[in-house]
């Protein structure tokens, strides 16, 4: 028979206050393959400490410990985890079952880290539980089982990976005598199969179930009944698959595990989710509103005509008013000869002019314009025709009415064309009616207007030869800046100083786009901050969760979970919360956008914000999940297991 577990001069010291307290001192011990050993000693003599060292949950302060001839000091933490996974089965006094998992899930736990497939895992767990008489308790949670049943579940778990060595620390300590005897009989049975059993107890009667008794006192071996000579026995071990590396399947398993863990604390999960949901929904909604208002403003500008340049009197920076007298119709003629200019229309407006028809008065805005007006402004007539160059030439008293003016003066729907209206005591013949245009983006009624030839307005109505503005329509918008420069140059040459302004709707679009982008960015930023707050909430909850589940982490480590897998598990939990919150947030955000649109707020659906918000939430999960996950993975298995 060969040595399975060998302790050579093993000591364990704890740093306690001023000096070291020595718990184990120079232990020399060899446990052979297939032995049933009881470690017997009073409380506090170091039995559990010894078991932790034997089970590779803790390292000795000095001395060597060999498992099947291999010095554990040469193994790194993942190799130790693998060794624990395949060699040791632990049975604890307090069972250490996961409260949120069913019996069969508890039993199946160690096989996750051995790389067994989910289906064969469940099958084997059920077989083991059935064998231990718990076939009808597969789906019960630990709280629904008696102490004896819970201990049998934990023994089944110890057998899950077919561990050749079972380490049982006071396994009957919390059980009544009958259940205690059953558990001990079970251990004897496992021993008979060829397993090495180390039973830790303070009770001589219980130690009697073992074939070899080692007494401990004050950290030293007091006596050892010695190994019983026995023919070698081969343990018929269940074939374990090779340990899987990080793979999609393992991540998927971690996701499922995370979902179970999150379900176990539904209310808390919901609150955490809420933070993320609000953040993501805010990003989606805010960006949609920002983009919507941008689109709306751009639409309005496009409606104003993007191929138009507007020349107004007054030096740059001076607010143009009708009183600044620098532009003339001759300027307009000069501009008309420039390349890329399609049409030009100078305008002289006089607001608050009274139009009279019979005994009806109506105050409107009279604009003196060139006959090119309908063409330049792309504004057609509904009745009659616009006046032509001949009328402009002879300062004819003709007028074209806007629809609002027609509605006021001809309420009964008479045909206005051919009628005469009085403006400043001069009878004007109505020659046409403009098409109805409606209100502009500033809410102004564009149909409350009447047009007369510019020459007529200047000489007969207003007595002024200056114009209020010149509108230029361009053939190609692409050349607008060149055209703008040419206009500036020609006017500068004519006036000798820059007493005019050229405005371009394209530059207006550019400016407004910039402003709107800043606004959208600002809204996005505010939303991103709420996402960040959500992320901090996730971290907070995950830290609480790690603290709360320290024992679970210890247990997972004891059953062979490598550090990477603990890291993965907690990170995945955070990512699942954020991912789920992200999806729900997007749904709520899109719904909110839809609602806002129904309510008349302009909002634009686009793919980018939801994508952005989701990836933000996802990254938040990774970043804020990492810290708690690292905290969990760095826990010492012994410390974690001892946590309350
Ligand atoms: P037993 O299991 O035999 O009752 P333990 O092995 O749990 O005894 O503990 C042995 C001694 O080691 C006790 O005096 C205990 O106070 C001390 N001890 C155990 N763990 C620690 C620790 N983490 N830090 C300091 N002292 C410890
Ligand atoms: Mg103990």
The protein residue with its alpha carbon nearest to ligand 1, atom 20, reads: 49
Please identify, by atom number, the ligand 1 atom nearest to the C-alpha of residue 50.
6
pLDDT at 112: 86
Confidence at residue 241, expressed as pLDDT on a 0 to 100 scale:
54
Domain that holds residue 421: 327-498
* Closest-CA residue to 577 (of 547, 537, 528, 524): 537
List, in order, residues 6 or more apart from 294 with CB less than 8 Å away: 512, 513, 516, 517, 519, 520, 604
Q: Which ligand is nearest to the CA of 45?
A: 1
Is 319 part of a structural domain of the chain?
A: no
Closest residue CA from atom 2 of ligand 1: 48
Q: Ligand 1: which atom is nearest the Cα of residue 51?
A: 6
Pocket of ligand 1 (CB under 6 A): 14, 16, 23, 41, 43-49
Is 309 in a helix, a strand, or coil?
A: strand
Give me the residue label for tokens 């232990």: 27
Distance separating alpha carbons of residues 506 and 4, to the nearest angstrom: 86
User: What count of residues does the chain have?
Assistant: 644
Structural domain contains residue 311: no
Tokens of 85: 């996974």
Ligand nearest to the CA of 169: 2
304 in any annotated domain: no
Among candidate residues 244, 265, 280, the one where a domain is terminated: 244
CA 53–ligand 2 middle distance (angstroms): 13
Same domain membership, residue 239 and residue 258: no
Residue nearest to atom 14 of ligand 1 (CA): 44
In this structure, the answer to whether residues 435 and 526 fall within a common structural domain is: no
Closest atom of ligand 1 relative to the 170 alpha carbon: 2
CATH of the domain at 222: 3.40.50.300
For residue 49, the ligand 1 atom closest to its alpha carbon is 6
Q: Which helix (H) or strand (E) holds 426?
A: strand 426-434
Residue 322 located in a structural domain: no
- 50 CA distance to ligand 1 middle (Å): 10
Same domain, 546 and 487: no
The residue whose CA is least distant from atom 25 of ligand 1 is 14
Residues 437 and 567 in one domain: no
- Residue whose CB lies within 8 A of the most ligand 1 atoms, among 25, 40, 44, 58, for a mutation test: 44
Give a yes or no: residue 139 inside a domain: yes
Ligand of minimum distance to the alpha carbon of 24: 1
State the alpha helices, DSSP H only, in 466-562.
480-495, 505-548, 550-558
Distances in whole angstroms, Cα of residue 471 to Cα of each of 343, 346, 381, 484, 494: 8, 6, 19, 12, 18
> Is residue 317 domain-resident?
no
386 vs 370: CA distance, rounded Å: 10
Domain-located, residue 320: no
Pocket test for ligand 1, best of 11, 41, 48, 202 (most atoms within 8 A of CB): 48
Residue at which a domain ends, from 498, 523, 555: 498
Instruction: Verify that 485 and 532 share a domain, yes or no.
Output: no
Same domain, 218 and 267: no
- Tokens 């039995």, residue? 47
Q: The tokens 């064998």 sit on which residue?
A: 131
11, 14, 219, best to mutate for ligand 1 pocket (most atoms within 8 Å of CB):
14
Bridge partners, 198 (sequence order) = 37, 167
In a shared domain, residues 153 and 290: no
Which of 467, 498, 529 delimits the end of a domain?
A: 498
- Ligand 1 center to 25 CA (angstroms): 13
Can you give the pLDDT at residue 146? 92
Averaged over successive runs of 10 residues, the pLDDT of the chain (644 residues) comes to 86 84 92 93 92 92 92 89 90 88 92 85 93 91 92 92 92 88 91 93 93 92 85 62 63 83 85 86 86 78 74 79 79 91 90 85 92 90 93 93 92 90 92 88 83 92 87 82 89 89 74 78 81 83 83 87 86 86 91 90 82 84 84 85 78
- Nearest CA owner, ligand 1 atom 6: 46
Where helices occur in 6-146 by DSSP H, the ranges are 47-54, 77-87, 103-114, 118-131
d(Cα 14, Cα 53) in Å, to the nearest integer? 14
Based on the fold, state whether residues 407 and 379 are members of the same structural domain.
yes
Same domain membership, residue 523 and residue 459: no
One domain, residues 382 and 423: yes
Query: What atom in ligand 1 is closest to the CA of residue 41?
Result: 3
Model pLDDT, residue 179: 87
Residue nearest to atom 27 of ligand 1 (CA): 14
For residue 253, give the nearest of 118, 123, 122 by alpha carbon: 118
What SS3 class is residue 122? helix
**Claim to verify: residue 485 and residue 570 sit in the same structural domain:** no
What residue's CA is closest to ligand 1, atom 12? 23
- Mutate-to-test residue for ligand 1 from 39, 43, 46, highest number of ligand atoms within 8 A of CB: 46
Count of structural domains, the chain:
3
Provide the pLDDT for residue 36: 94
Question: What is the distance in A from the centroid of ligand 1 to the CA of 47?
Answer: 8
Instruction: Say how many CA atoms lie within 13 Å of 140 toward its Cβ.
Output: 13
Nearest Cα to Cα of residue 457 among 365, 537, 573: 365
Tell me, yes or no, if the pTM score tops 0.85: no
Residue 462: half-sphere exposure toward Cβ, Cα within 13 Å = 26
Atom nearest to 200 CA in ligand 1 = 2
333 shares a domain with 460? yes
Q: Which residue is it, tokens 């207006």? A: 508
Run of H or E residues at 292:
helix 266-304
What CA–CA distance (Å, rounded) separates 513 from 522? Answer: 14
Closest ligand 1 atom to the C-alpha of 219? 10
Task: Please tell me the distance from the alpha carbon of residue 430 to that of residue 447, in angstroms, as a whole number.
Answer: 15
Kindly tell me the sign of the dihedral angle through the C-alpha atoms of 443, 449, 455, 457.
negative
Q: Which ligand is nearest to the CA of 25?
A: 1
pLDDT number for residue 533: 83
Give a yes or no: residue 307 inside a domain: no
């Amino acid at each position: 028979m060969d040595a399975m577990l060998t302790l050579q001069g093993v000591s364990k010291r704890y740093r306690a206050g001023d000096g070291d307290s020595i718990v184990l001192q120079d232990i020399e011990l060899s446990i052979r393959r297939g032995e049933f050993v009881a470690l017997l000693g009073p409380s506090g003599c170091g039995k559990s400490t010894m078991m932790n060292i034997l089970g590779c949950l803790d390292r000795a302060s000095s001395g060597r410990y060999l498992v099947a001839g291999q010095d554990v000091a040469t193994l790194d933490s993942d190799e130790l985890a693998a060794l624990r996974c395949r060699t040791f089965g632990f049975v604890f006094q307090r069972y250490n079952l996961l409260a949120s998992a069913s019996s069969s899930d508890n039993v199946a736990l160690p096989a996750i880290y051995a790389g067994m497939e989910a289906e064969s895992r469940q099958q084997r767990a059920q077989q083991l539980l059935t064998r231990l008489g718990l076939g009808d308790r597969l789906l019960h949670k630990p709280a629904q089982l008696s102490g004896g049943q819970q201990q049998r579940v934990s023994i089944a778990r110890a057998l899950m990976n077919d561990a050749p060595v079972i380490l049982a620390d006071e396994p009957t300590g919390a059980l009544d005598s009958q259940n205690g005897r059953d558990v001990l009989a079970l251990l004897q049975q496992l021993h008979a199969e060829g397993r090495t059993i180390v039973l830790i107890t303070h009770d001589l009667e219980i130690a009697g179930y073992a074939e070899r008794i080692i007494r401990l006192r004050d950290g030293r071996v007091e006596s050892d009944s010695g190994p019983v000579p026995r023919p070698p026995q081969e343990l018929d071990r269940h074939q374990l698959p090779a340990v899987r590396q990080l793979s999609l399947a393992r991540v998927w398993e971690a996701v499922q595990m995370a979902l179970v863990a999150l379900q176990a604390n539904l209310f808390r999960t919901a609150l955490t989710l809420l933070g993320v949901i609000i953040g993501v929904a805010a990003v989606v909604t805010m960006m949609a509103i920002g983009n919507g208002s941008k689109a709306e403003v751009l639409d309005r500008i496009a409606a104003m005509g993007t191929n138009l340049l507007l020349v107004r009197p007054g030096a740059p920076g001076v607010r143009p008013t009708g009183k600044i007298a620098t532009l003339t119709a001759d300027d307009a003629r000069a501009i008309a000869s420039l390349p890329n200019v399609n049409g030009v229309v100078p305008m002289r407006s006089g607001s608050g002019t009274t139009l009279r028809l019979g005994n009806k008065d109506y105050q409107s805005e009279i604009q003196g314009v060139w006959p090119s007006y309908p063409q330049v402004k792309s504004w057609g007539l509904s009745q009659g025709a616009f006046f032509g160059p001949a009328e402009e030439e002879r300062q004819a008293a003709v007028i074209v009415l806007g629809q609002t003016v027609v509605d006021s003066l001809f309420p009964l729907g008479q045909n206005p064309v051919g009628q005469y209206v009085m403006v400043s005591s001069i009878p004007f013949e109505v020659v046409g009616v403009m098409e109805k245009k409606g209100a502009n983006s500033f809410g102004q009624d564009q149909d409350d207007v009447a047009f007369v030839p510019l020459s007529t307005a200047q000489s007969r109505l207003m007595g002024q030869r200056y114009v209020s503005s010149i509108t230029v329509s361009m053939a190609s918008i692409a050349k607008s800046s060149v055209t703008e420069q040419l206009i500036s140059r020609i006017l500068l040459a004519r006036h000798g100083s820059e007493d005019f302004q050229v405005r371009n709707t394209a530059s207006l679009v550019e400016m407004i786009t910039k402003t709107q982008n800043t606004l959208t960015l600002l809204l996005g930023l505010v939303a991103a901050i709420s996402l960040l707050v959500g992320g901090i909430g996730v971290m907070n909850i995950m830290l609480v969760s790690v603290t709360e589940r320290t024992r679970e982490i210890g247990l997972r480590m004891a059953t062979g979970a490598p550090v990477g897998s603990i890291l993965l598990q907690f990170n995945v939990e955070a990512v699942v919360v954020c991912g789920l919150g992200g999806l729900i947030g997007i749904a709520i955000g899109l719904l909110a956008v839809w609602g806002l649109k129904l309510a008349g707020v302009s909002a634009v659906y686009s793919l980018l914000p939801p994508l952005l918000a989701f990836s933000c939430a996802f990254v938040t999960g990774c970043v804020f999940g990492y810290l708690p996950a690292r905290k969990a993975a760095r826990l010492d298995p012994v410390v974690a297991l001892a946590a309350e």
